[in-house]
């Protein structure tokens, strides 16, 4: 590592839509301070990948098959308590903020934001 050059923050993207994962990857990889370290298409796979990759940040969709984002957030909070999570609420249902704060969410990306 060069002197004075910070290591990029590693981000894990967990979303069941491949096109959205690809768009987020493209956006994140265009910023020097960040890099996508991995992707997962459901909450269960996201938990496994987070354990393997130890990311600095997790972007987590709330509505996914196999295991939704709320369930995954609860397990990720136990597995990696210091890793911040941003939740995606792309569908029509927006979660109540008290529910989101329970999972110690760092931020939310809402459909009409």
Length of the chain: 113
For β-strands 107-109 and 57-61, DSSP reports them as unpaired
pLDDT at 35: 92
* pLDDT of 111 above 60: no
Show the domains of the chain with their CATH numbers. Answer: 9-109 (3.40.50.2300)
DSSP H or E run through 25: helix 18-29
Report field, pTM of the whole predicted structure over 0.85: no
How far, in Å, CA of 10 to CA of 89, rounded? 22
| pLDDT single digits (tens) 65-101 | 898 888 888 898 889 888 877 766 655 455 444 445 4
């Amino acid at each position: 590592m060069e002197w004075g050059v910070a290591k990029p923050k590693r981000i894990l993207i967990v979303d069941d839509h491949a096109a959205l994962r690809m768009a987020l990857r493209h956006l994140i990889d265009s910023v020097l301070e960040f890099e996508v370290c991995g992707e997962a298409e459901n909450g269960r796979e996201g938990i496994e990948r987070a354990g393997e990759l130890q990311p600095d940040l997790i972007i987590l969709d709330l509505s996914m098959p196999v295991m939704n984002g709320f369930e995954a957030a609860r397990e990720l909070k136990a597995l990696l308590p210091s890793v911040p999570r941003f939740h995606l609420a792309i569908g029509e249902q927006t979660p109540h903020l008290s529910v989101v704060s329970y999972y110690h969410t760092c931020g939310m990306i809402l459909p009409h934001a």
